[in-house]
A and B are shown apart, each in its own frame.
Chain A
């Protein structure tokens, strides 16, 4: 199956700093990627849809100025958590459906963010 990678796999930062998380599709192109957040023992909540060559679309209640998304190429999307606070600590997961491909979505391994 298709492979999606994320970097870093975990990060610890101080409150007020910004953190960038990368999501890459390794063996396929993706015009669209999705960013999810998962709190402990809860399910995945869609945060935003990342679109190559255009602005991301955010789900209701997600602050676009706090969670900056850039879909730089057909294989890379980045999520930057700006001015992070402890309540932003969570597990961030990206996913991608292959361009023009199947109905499947392939998920990355996730990034654990801890804000002190």
Chain B
């Protein structure tokens, strides 16, 4: 069974204080690791897909990296608008996604 574990559960940052979120996974035949952003009361918003170890992707202040066992989402110099819950998910065979519990990031001005 696919397992996705995210840490920490919550992260409080000062504006400009860079940090990283962790996503550890166990899956048979990874077909993709996904990062989503979810704001309260809204559906997840797609950020990145990573397919193979060593792959990196960037978008504004966010950078996602992937190893064979985990992925990191680095937030560089965060702003208050980066406050959200960040979800990690893996896809094995079909289009089904298995989600982690998420990391709730709060950035204070």
Q: Does A56 contact B (CB under 8 A)?
A: no
Q: Which chain A residue shows the least CB distance to B49?
A: A103
Q: CB < 8 Å: which of A1, A43, A91, A105 contacts B95? A: A105
Q: Quick one: CB contact mask for A82-105 with B, threshold 8 Å, 1 for yes?
A: 000000000101010100000111
Name the residue on B nearest A110 (C-beta). Answer: B43
A116 CB–B CB distance under 8 Å: no
Other-chain contact of B43, A49, A97, A107 (Cβ < 8 Å):
A107
Q: How distant is the Cα of A93 from the Cα of B89 in the complex, in angstroms?
A: 15
Q: Per a CB cutoff under 8 Å, which of A44, A91, A97, A104 touches B99?
A: A44
**B45 and A107 contacting across the interface, CB-CB below 8 Å:** yes
Complex Cα distance, B91 from A70, in Å, reads: 24
- For A112, list chain B residues within 8 Å (CB): 41
Size range of the interface on B?
20 to 34
Query: CB within 8 A of A46: which of B41, B49, B87, B97?
Result: B97
A32-B95, A34-B95, A103-B91 known; A42+B101 contact, CB < 8 A: yes
Chain A nearest Cβ from B8, distance in angstroms: 14
The 8 A CB mask of B72-104 against A (1 = contact, 0 = none) is 000000000000000100010011111111100
A8 CB within 8 Å of chain B? no
Q: Is B31 an interface residue (CB 8 A)?
A: yes
A-side interface residues toward B, CB under 8 Å?
A: 1, 4, 6, 32, 34, 42-46, 49, 91, 93, 95, 97, 103-110, 112
Inter-chain pairs besides A46-B97, A107-B44, 20 sampled, C-beta below 8 Å: A4-B43, A6-B43, A32-B95, A34-B97, A43-B102, A44-B87, A44-B97, A49-B95, A93-B43, A95-B97, A97-B95, A104-B34, A105-B34, A105-B95, A107-B36, A107-B43, A107-B46, A109-B42, A110-B41, A110-B43
